[in-house]
Structure 1
Amino acid sequence: MTTRRNRRKQTVSFDQRLREAATAAREAARRLPAGQERDALMKKARQAETAATINELLSSPTLRPSSPG
């Protein structure tokens, strides 16, 4: 028996979803007192921003291989 994967059509770009996750984590962290939970949310926000930056760099046209010809 094969397992079927749930497939969804994404309506928002990967970059936008990462940036929204970072913003949401930062806002949630602002509402918390200093502590481990707040630090974890800030770390999550930084990771999402870093992932968005890396995705942007990897998607840039300067990194695309040139077509032979």
Structure 2
Amino acid sequence: MVKKRRRFRQTTSLAERLAEEAARLRERARNLPPGVEQTLLWRKVRQAETALRIEAWLGSPDAPTPDNVITMLSKSPKKRSLSKPSPST
């Protein structure tokens, strides 16, 4: 028997949910004393804001490609081969 997938229709857009999450996390981080938990919350804020920018970029058909994405892709480390070098005789 195939299990039927439960679908849920979102009432707000992804951008709205990401913005709300970033604002909620930012407020929590401001109320905490400096420490590990605050650092983790600020990291989540940055992730939500980055996701918001990416979502906006992907949603606009005429948006230019960000320069830093191209430079990051061109500077990617080269993969090392897993094969063993042949012994030279």
- 4+ residue runs over 4 A deviation: none
Instruction: Name the CA distance, whole Å, in 1 between partners of 2:6 and 2:34.
Output: 38
Q: Percent identity?
A: 48
Structure 2 partner of 1:33:
33
Matched letter for residue 34 of structure 1: P
Aligned residue-pair number: 63
RMSD: 1.2
- Per the normalisation by structure 2, the TM-score is 0.66
Q: How does 1:2-21 map to 2 (within 5 A)?
A: 2-21=2-21
1:11-61 CA-to-partner distances (Å, cap 9, x unmatched) read 100011011111110001111110000000010011000000001001102
Greater relative contact order (CA < 8 Å, ≥ 6 in sequence): 1
- Per the normalisation by structure 1, the TM-score is 0.83
Gaps of 5+ in 1: 64-69
Gaps of 5+ in 2: 64-89
More helix by share: 1
